[in-house]
Amino acid sequence: MDDYEFVFVPSIVNIDGNIEGLGIYSKESLAFDALKKKISENWSSGYKEAQLVMWTLDSDDSKAVPLKHMSANVCPICDERTFWTDAVELNALCYLPACQAWIESSDKEMDKIDCGWPPIGYTSQVDTLADALSSLRNYGAKIRASVADDSDIFTHRTLLEEYEKSIEEDSTSNLEE
């Protein structure tokens, strides 16, 4: 059996401001997976904040080490409050399944920030987090404008509608079983 020195504890703050625990894990990746699953499956439930901390076992340390401190913001592309920003690692991801806009510090170039929107493969490299946000916002505005022009582009609204339809179909087929 492994000797564990640290434990990893994810938690999330719900719409009423109450903290919900999501278990205790022996690995950071398992704890983060549990957190991501909770956020993905409940993206419309109004969760506001989430944390992942590390505690040392058998120690009287009164402070946990913060590994992630995430908060839900309005997404620059889809306009839903599903854009989770991590203040510790300075990255962000939209947890709306049809959107998934993201911001991350570049692993290839120091001091650069990448951002993108997977549905049509948009990516951009900028200097600051603020630039990444405005780049995504400009892009979101273009998408919204193309909706107004009734263009054929695969828009985020279409994606949202398709996603919502697929959920309805899922729940109907469950009822029929």
Interface with Zn ion (CB under 5 A), residue from 67, 94, 103, 143: 94
Beta carbon nearer to Zn ion, 11 or 119? 119
Among candidate residues 83, 77, 75, the one with its CA nearest the CA of residue 144: 77
H/E run at residue 6: strand 6-13
State the minimum distance, in angstroms, from the CB of residue 48 to Zn ion. Answer: 16
52 contacts Zn ion (rule: CB under 5 A)? no
Q: How far apart are CA 41 and CA 133, in angstroms?
A: 25
Q: How far is CA 18 from the centre of its chain?
A: 20
x/- track of binding to Zn ion for residues 57-76 (CB under 5 A): ------------------x-
Beta carbon nearer to Zn ion, 81 or 112? 81
DSSP for 135-166, please give it.
HHHHHHHHHHHHHHTT--S--HHHHHHHHHHH
State the minimum distance, in angstroms, from the CB of residue 47 to Zn ion. Answer: 15
50 contacts Zn ion (rule: CB under 5 A)? no
Beta bridge partners of 156: none
Interacting span for Zn ion (CB under 5 A) from 11-19, 26-34, 86-94, 120-128:
86-94
Which residues contact Zn ion (rule: CB under 5 A)?
75, 77-78, 94, 96, 99, 101
